[in-house]
A and B are shown apart, each in its own frame.
Chain A
Amino acid sequence: MSDDLIRTLLEAPYVSKFGVRFERRGDELTGVLPYAEHLVGNPLVPALHGGAVGAFMEVVASGALLAAQPLMRLPKPIDVAVDYLRPARPQDVYARAVIGRSGSRVANVRVEAWQNRRDAPVATLHGHFLIKPVPADS
């Protein structure tokens, strides 16, 4: 685990501006994006901005990588692919990540974001992140 880096991740101006927080149970981590009016992309639907939901899932992917193992620095996204499955309604969003493979340099992560129902995701993300694990012998 990389507790200091998780704090750094959440305290970054952009992340704290939108109030993202993590709920952790051991190495399992759930991200929470609390609803606020400034997250709305289209008030006429109304739906949260796809960019806000996508960015939130990127933060959760980084958080999950940091919760899973000690890293030297914050993970850096290489690429992400986001699928939008339903309009995200003006309410809290939750997300959880599954790490597909985490090697010595790159990690493959999938994230699912949902609102009322865990089995009705609003968006999913699949991405690769550059990571720098703490050497095993240190």
Chain B
Amino acid sequence: MAESLQDLLDRLSPLLVDGSPHAQALGLALDGLGPGRATMRAPYRDDLVGDPETGVLHGGVVTALLDHACGVAAFSGLGARETPATLDLRIDYMRPAQPGKDIIAEAECVRAHGLIAFVRATAHDGDESDPVATAQAAFMVTRPSKEAADRVRTIIAEGKL
């Protein structure tokens, strides 16, 4: 029987964060992964603060978290076969995140077809109805990203993973 998308996602999920040095450097964690959906968390950490006076996390952490969560949702929405590249990412910063709290991003792939995926995401620090930021992004399976996915498949097929 063919492997279901959820089974494939469950098998690949450790790679989607640990395979990215920058996501690891920020301590990003994948809290949930489903067809066309991803929930990711950026931990509150002193070394990620943007304004030492207020202790608020740097906007860049929110940017990277939303980019990564949207990318994972696009990957899933496209059938978990290719890792798409970000074409554009638009972020509205609604309010500063509360010091001491993790930031959670919920990303949903609105439409995926062919090589393109459209994603919407919300980042919050506990209450989804009171977002820190919202984002909208478009992704595409580009030639470099397709070649990279082919290399992963070869590594998996050779049993090195």
Contact call B20/A44, Cβ cutoff below 8 A: no
**Interface footprint category on A:** 35 or more
Contact surface of A with B, Cβ cutoff 8 Å: 8, 11-15, 17, 37-45, 47-52, 54-56, 58-59, 74, 76-84, 87
For A55, the closest partner residue in chain B by CB is: B60
Determine the chain A residues whose CB is within 8 A of the CB of B71 once the complex forms: 50
Determine the chain B residues whose CB is within 8 A of the CB of A52 once the complex forms: 22, 60, 64
A-B pairs, top 9 by smallest CB distance, nearest first, are: A51-B64, A55-B60, A14-B58, A49-B22, A44-B148, A38-B25, A51-B67, A81-B90, A50-B86
For B24, the closest partner residue in chain A by CB is: A38
- Total inter-chain residue pairs, C-beta < 8 Å: 140
Determine the chain B residues whose CB is within 8 A of the CB of A87 once the complex forms: 85, 142, 144
Contact call B87/A42, Cβ cutoff below 8 A: no
Interface size for B (C-beta < 8 A) is 45
Contact call B93/A77, Cβ cutoff below 8 A: yes
Determine the chain B residues whose CB is within 8 A of the CB of A51 once the complex forms: 22, 60, 63-68
Query: Is B47 on the interface with A (CB-CB < 8 A)?
Result: yes
Q: Which of B20, B21, B58, B93 contacts A79 (CB 8 A)?
A: B93
With A80-B91, A81-B88 known, 12 other A-B pairs at CB within 8 A are A13-B46, A13-B49, A14-B47, A39-B22, A39-B25, A44-B151, A44-B152, A51-B63, A80-B90, A82-B90, A84-B87, A84-B88
Query: Is B110 on the interface with A (CB-CB < 8 A)?
Result: no
- SS of A interface (majority): mixed
Question: How far, in angstroms, from A48 to B68 measured CA to CA in the complex?
Answer: 12
Contact call A17/B91, Cβ cutoff below 8 A: no
Contact call B47/A59, Cβ cutoff below 8 A: no
Question: Contacts A13-B47, A44-B151, A58-B60; is A38 near B22 (CB within 8 Å)?
Answer: yes
Question: How far, in angstroms, from A49 to B88 measured CA to CA in the complex?
Answer: 13
Query: Is B83 on the interface with A (CB-CB < 8 A)?
Result: yes
